[in-house]
Structure 1
Amino acid sequence: MKKIELSSSGIQASSIILGMMRIAGLEDRDIRALFDAAREASINIIDHADIYGGERHRSEQRFGQAVALTPSERQELIIQSKVGIRKGFFDFSKAHILDTVDKSLAALKTDYLDILLLHRPDALVEPEEVADAFDTLHRTGKVRHFGVSNHTPGQIELLRTALNQPLIVNQIQLSLVHAPSIASGIAANMAGLEQSVDRDGELVNYCRREKITLQAWSPFQKGFFEGVFVGDRENYPVLNDVLDELAKKYDVTPSAIAIAWILRHPARIQVVLGTTNLTRVKDCAKAADIELTREEWYRLFTAAGYTLP
């Protein structure tokens, strides 16, 4: 599988990320089998969050129990987790960040996180407090690199006024039919077109310029957890016809084509795969070896309902 360097960190990561949001209810053997399938597909980065699993640290705990990484496996693996979402509010306080990381490490049965992400923007953030937490975590070896999730350029710049640690990742919602971060620029200055509305401050261009690696979550969702568009012929008949056609051409599944559309973007975006189905992991991983043509990329874009002015 194609590897990319995350920002300028020196980390060589797979284009596909295995997401752990849905593993809490699986048996140990099924979690280990999922992990093994991902590794066989050359996926080397695992995505967690303290809130995944229904109760805090539950999915991290299940992973730590079921996989029980050997020292060599841990060395070959990139583990990232997230912090900041609490029940009913967001919290980027130093105390919460430090406490959460300690509990994540204990749950995962590891001494360090490769990457820690701030999960969703905290309106009450104090950049100096975040900086202090990050410096402490880095100095003690508990976290090697840092990033954010769902942050705008302005929010990132505010954090950077105090941070000593570089932000190497920004994880955002992105799919073929949920791509305002890409679509708005294509329709820039088209006053009568809803697509032209810039909702995130030209986030993709900003991250490309600042060398912050983007990670796409929910690559098959048609809205905010409104269901998948792949196979939804009632709402997306044209798009699914094109997905099927290109899947046949490249000898992969339609889902792999949907991922390949994201990977084709020159921002070198990673895709977080949230499935617990072993076959689906293997099938979707094949997307990393596909490079759609420009014509195919734009054909999928318009089939998804976007406009080329």
Structure 2
Amino acid sequence: MPAHTFDVPFVLGMMRLHEAPEMHQTTHLADWIEARIEQGLHWFDHADIYGNGVCETLFGQALRARPNLAKRLRVVTKASIANDNPAVNVGKAKHCSIKHYNASPAYLNKAIDNALERLGVERIEHFLIHRPDLLMNAETTGRVLDDAIEAGKIGAAGISNHLPSQWRRLQNAMHHPLRANQIELSISHNAPLFDGSFDDLCTDCHSPMAWSPLAGGKLMQGDVSNVLNRMATEQNSTPNALALAWLRTLPNRPTPVVGSVKQERITEMLNGPEALPRETWYALLEAARGHCVA
């Protein structure tokens, strides 16, 4: 597998796309997508649960309105979380009485077909199982993912929020390798670096994606904020840009998934180094943990 599956400084997460009223205007969204591509940001992260299908639908409408865009971008999407959102009922064939996980062949096969239809793309570059289904039959689930790859519907299968034992059970039942592996990871949420799960990810040659790379704003509080602000001033950068560079410094170069759709914030996060010097990296880790390494 190539060292950098995601050849961008960060992937654009579409989770809140439906919350921005201006993005419901097809021309505006098409302009926004094109502007991001021009910035070198051509990877977009979706999931069927985002707006209960509305985010993928809006995105697909923009691509259909401007057909040249689809060939210039790449899409990641995820499925397996089944829930009922009373505020947004689009994209679900029926309501479910309780939130649960579903990685059954029928559910995933339909999820892939529905995502292709909503997004209006010929192929989903990476299709991830969003959360581990504790009732998953690895053999049948693995087979449906292999079949989707061989049919050209998806470029590769992957996982999100899985334990090493869970993804390895699935991998053992598949012919094609799992590629992308999306986990929660940031300066403040650094547990995967100490519990062995990130090392397992690297050992299995996955391309890591880091969701919530800015820890939902927590990095702008306390000691981490002080260190980030000082370093940003010294390096003529910004705290958020340095926080993303901290992630990219790790082995296998995790690609952050940034959830903002604000143009100025996205541009600001591009104003940073690709990676950080070792002492700088450890200084930020120390600020987050409240103590130096042993």
- Say whether the fold is shared (TM-score over 0.5): yes
Q: Is the 8 A contact 1:17 1:45 kept in 2?
A: yes
What code does the residue aligned with 1:230 have?
Answer: L
CA distance in 2, matches of 1:285, 1:68: 28
1:292 and 2:276 aligned: yes
What residue in structure 2 maps to residue 194 of structure 1? none
1:127 and 2:138 aligned: yes
- Give the TM-score taking structure 2 as reference length: 0.87
SS at match of 1:82: strand
1:62 and 2:62 aligned: no
Question: What do residues 248-276 of structure 1 show as CA deviations (whole Å, max 9, x unaligned)?
Answer: 12222211111111111123110000001
What residue in structure 1 maps to residue 92 of structure 2? none
Shift of the alpha carbon at 1:165? Answer: 1.6
SS at match of 1:230: helix
What code does the residue aligned with 2:175 have?
Answer: N
CA distance in 1, matches of 2:202, 2:257: 19
Matches within 5 A, 1:226-237: 227-232=216-221, 236=222
What residue in structure 2 maps to residue 258 of structure 1? 243
What code does the residue aligned with 1:78 have?
Answer: R
Query: 96-105 or 238-247: which moved more?
Result: 238-247
SS at match of 1:276: coil
Change in CA separation of 1:11 and 1:297 when aligned onto 2, cut-off 3 Å = closer
Change in CA separation of 1:69 and 1:78 when aligned onto 2, cut-off 3 Å = farther
SS at match of 1:68: helix
CA distance in 2, matches of 1:34, 1:281: 11
Matches within 5 A, 1:186-265: 198=195, 202-221=196-215, 227-232=216-221, 236=222, 238-265=223-250
What root-mean-square deviation, in Å, do the aligned CA atoms of Structure 1 and Structure 2 show?
1.9
Shift of the alpha carbon at 1:31? Answer: 2.7
Change in CA separation of 1:10 and 1:181 when aligned onto 2, cut-off 3 Å = closer
Which of 111, 115, 120 lines up with 1:109 in the alignment?
120
1:35 and 2:33 aligned: yes
Query: 19-28 or 42-51: which moved more?
Result: 19-28
Q: Is the 8 A contact 1:243 1:257 kept in 2?
A: yes
Shift of the alpha carbon at 1:121? Answer: 0.6
The structure whose residues are more often helix, as a share, is 2
Shift of the alpha carbon at 1:306? Answer: 4.5
Instruction: Percent identity, please.
Output: 30
What code does the residue aligned with 2:40 have?
Answer: S
Show structure 1 runs of 5+ residues with no match.
Answer: 1-6, 185-197, 222-226
CA distance in 1, matches of 2:203, 2:66: 38
Q: Is the 8 A contact 2:43 2:76 kept in 1?
A: yes
CA distance in 1, matches of 2:226, 2:131: 35
Paired residues in the alignment total 274
Show structure 2 runs of 5+ residues with no match.
Answer: 84-98
Change in CA separation of 1:303 and 1:37 when aligned onto 2, cut-off 3 Å = farther
Question: What do residues 162-203 of structure 1 show as CA deviations (whole Å, max 9, x unaligned)?
Answer: 111210111000111111011x2xxxxxxxxxxxxx3xxx11
Change in CA separation of 1:116 and 1:69 when aligned onto 2, cut-off 3 Å = farther
What code does the residue aligned with 1:157 have?
Answer: R
CA distance in 1, matches of 2:105, 2:3: 24
